[in-house]
Structure 1
Amino acid sequence: METSTTAPAALAVEADKLVKTYPKGVRALDGLSLAVRPGEVFGLLGPNGAGKTTTVKILTTLARPTAGTARVAGHDVLRHPDRVRREIGTVSQRSGADPAASGRDNLLLQGRLYGMRGTALTGRVAELLERFDLVDAARRPVRTYSGGMQRRLDVALGLVHRPRVLFLDEPTTGLDPEARAAMWEEIARLAGDEGLTIVLTTHYLEEADRLADRLAIVDGGRVVVEGAPDDLKGELRGDAVHVELSEAGSEDRARAAVGGVPGVREVTVDGRRLSARADDGASSVPATLAALGGVGVRVAAVTVARPSLDDVYLRYAGRRFAEVDGGVA
């Protein structure tokens, strides 16, 4: 009897133990590994300085790793950078459009750089202008565009040559809430394009939760946990209980007191903010307050919430998401 086996689909992006060091001992990546499946939206989530942008620079051949390997669309980023560039589109944090040229001319130039000509190019440009709602502004200089329009043009530029992998590096940073919501809708629509893989870096928790099929939380240049957002939150059984202490200097007493409350676990203290997990958050609040009062710790506020990506980050990185800010991204 014959048996047949189907080989697993090749990964769209894979990185193995990437290390990147800069002068003066700055270590932006410290053994980062990840695997992105074809056709998914994969999020790199982490605060500023976590190593997200450095990772994207290596994967898009704009930087060389100090150690480790990476492949994109089946091509080694060091051995075959030209092949990688043909297969990817990139939207950087800063716009790559010529502000003096029109949106249409920017798209035409981008296509020509990839060898596109004639009706294939003009047709593709017309398609993208329509798709990104830029038809009316197509012949205006890009410097007259709003922030949201510029970002839509940036994404269109990354798609002209129909890449297999699209890298979006902090695509909504600096946008107002309305423009950010519109960009989220556009990225969600892009995710439905057949065969397109999207790698999205962000430091917005809600953005990663809403858009990513799977994500890797990056901290200190390493992936601390990887998985689907709902799966990661689901691992945190029960509710999150957050207590704001009234004064500094009571952290150790507060941690010890709450740690002794039945049904409460994983107690951490970050400044005057105490966080814990509880099987039933609402019913644990009276006992928590009583325990704190018993050791003379005053409380300013208490909240109970379902698990969030912030709680996931706290569990695996040992601190609140917003604690690190600045440095090498």
Structure 2
Amino acid sequence: MTAAVHADGLVKRYSGMTQDAVSDLSFDIEPGAVIGLLGPNGAGKTTLTKMICGATVPTRGTLEVFGVDPAEPTGAAKRRIGAVHQNGPFDMMLPALDNLRITAAFKGLRWRDIRRQVDDLLAAFGLAGKTGQLAFTLSGGERRRFQVIRALLGDPPLLLLDEPSAGLDVSGRHQVWSLLHDLRRRQGTTILWTSHYVEELERNCRRVLVINHGRLVEFAAPRELAERFGGQVALVRPDRPRDTGELLAVLGRGGPQLRVSVGEGHVEVKGQGTRACLPALLTRAEALGIGIGAVEYRTPSLEDAFLTLVGAGHDG
């Protein structure tokens, strides 16, 4: 079976740079998969997405979208891609519906052929009554939903999503998730999904590509990554809520392998050494007169694994 996206030894170095923006990336994305793309700012996510779109070409290596070079002149690969960019442009002085018509024209789609799809998408996103409004009068969340609709015009077999939930409230995010899952189920759409909401990728993606400094760090299922790299998580509750600050100070002396933070009436401890280090730290706390009410261990998350893999100092 031809991969939806195939990368082999992919390298991109921009003129004037001393290091690669993308360095020796190799991976395959199977058709119909929902894959997360996760990495700190500057990791190479945007550069990789641009190469898949055909907006920039690799310095060396191989990149194919359904077996075709995305940068080849006929645009055969580009016509099979829909993209939701983080800052997708609108003509603000045109009605929302005209912005959709312009997108359809750029994609080579006849409006009468896709009008039913447009109406269905507008209804699904609660935007049927907004099409006559000038784009600048729409809220940020409404424009974001129109961006998703634009990407879906013509049913492209590959969707590239860059922060599709940015600017949406909880209900809007769930609308997007539901629609995308329905699209994948009905049409076998392949989705490459970039998000700073790590929990969003954990909930919606079959596997996650983790990249850092342009290199592939891991490519595995979210639960596998969480179990292998997430470490342990413990919630420690003092007998007296007023002792939470003192408890934080004691548990913070567990060394650099542990990360501690204050929650609502508890101290959260994360890291590979949590189970090994915690008993001695709790004994020290009790010696200082800090009573321990409860200790609860939790299953690690993809976010915990991400911080272990790329470092807690990065914004993911």
**TM-score, normalising length: structure 1:** 0.77
Offset at residue 224 of structure 1 (A): 0.6
Which of 104, 109, 118 is the aligned partner of 1:111? 104
Aligned-partner SS, 2:164: coil
Answer whether contact 2:258 2:272 (CA < 8 A) is retained: no
Q: Structure 2: give runs of 5+ residues left out of the alignment.
A: 237-246, 262-267
1:158 is aligned, of 151, 155, 162, to: 151
Where does 1:240-259 land on structure 2 (aligned, <5 Å)?
240-241=233-234, 246=249, 254-255=254-255
Q: CA deviation at 1:241?
A: 4.7
Alignment pair present for 1:276 and 2:271: yes
Cα drift, residue 196 of structure 1: 0.8
In structure 1, the partner of 2:9 is: 17
Per the alignment, residue 184 of structure 1 pairs with 177
1:148 is aligned to 2:137: no
- Alignment pair present for 1:227 and 2:217: no
Count of aligned residue pairs for this structure pair: 296
CA distance in 1, matches of 2:270, 2:109: 55
Q: Distance in 1 between matches of 2:193 and 2:200?
A: 10
CA distance in 2, matches of 1:42, 1:234: 18
Q: CA RMSD in A?
A: 3.4
Quickly say closer, same or farther: Cα 1:75–1:275, change in 2 above 3 A: same
CA contact (8 A) 2:92 2:135 kept: yes
Residues 1:130 and 1:312: Cα distance change in structure 2 (over 3 Å): same
Instruction: Give me the whole-angstrom Cα distance separating, in 1, the residues matched to 2:230 and 2:97.
Output: 51
Map Cα deviations across residues 161-207 of structure 1 (whole Å, 9 max, x no partner): 22110111122234444433443333333332312111111122111
In structure 2, the CA distance between the partners of 1:308 and 1:15, relative to structure 1 (3 Å rule), is same
* Paired letter, 1:277: Q
Farther off after superposition, 119-128 or 59-68: 119-128
Q: Any idea what SS the aligned residue of 2:185 has?
A: coil
Distance 1:276 1:119 in 2: 56
Letter in 2 for 1:324: H
SS of the equivalent of 1:149 reads: helix
The amino acid across from 2:144 in the alignment is R
Identical positions, percent: 34
Partner residue of 1:132 out of 125, 134, 143: 125
Greater alpha carbon shift after TM alignment, 12-21 vs 163-172: 12-21
* TM-score under structure 2 length normalisation: 0.80
Report the residue type matching 2:11 in the other structure: V
DSSP-derived class of the 1:97 partner = coil
- Paired with 1:202 and 1:238, the residues of 2 have a C-alpha distance of 22
1:215-244, CA deviations, whole angstroms, 9 ceiling, x for partnerless residues?
Answer: 111111112111111222233597335899
Per-residue Cα deviation, 1:146-166 (whole angstroms, up to 9, x for no partner) = 222111111111111221101
Asked whether the equivalents of residues 38 and 196 of structure 1 are also in contact (C-alpha less than 8 Å), the reply is yes
Q: How far apart, in 1, do the equivalents of 2:179 and 2:140 lie?
A: 15
Query: 2-side partners of 1:104 and 1:74: how far apart?
Result: 34
Cα distance between partner residues in 1 of 2:43 and 2:286: 38
1:123 corresponds to:
116
Aligned to 1:263: none
Distance 1:116 1:310 in 2: 40
Change (3 A) 1:176 1:119: closer
Supply the distance in 2 between the matched residues of 1:241 and 1:271 (Cα, whole angstroms).
10
Q: Which amino acid aligns with 1:162?
A: D
Counterpart secondary structure, 1:96: coil
Letter aligned with residue 4 of structure 2 = A
Equivalent AA in structure 2 for residue 276 of structure 1: G
Deviation at residue 285 of structure 1 after TM alignment = 2.8
- Cα 1:106/1:238, change in 2 over 3 Å: closer
Q: Distance in 2 between matches of 1:19 and 1:270?
A: 35
Alpha-carbon contact 2:231-2:304 (below 8 Å) kept: no
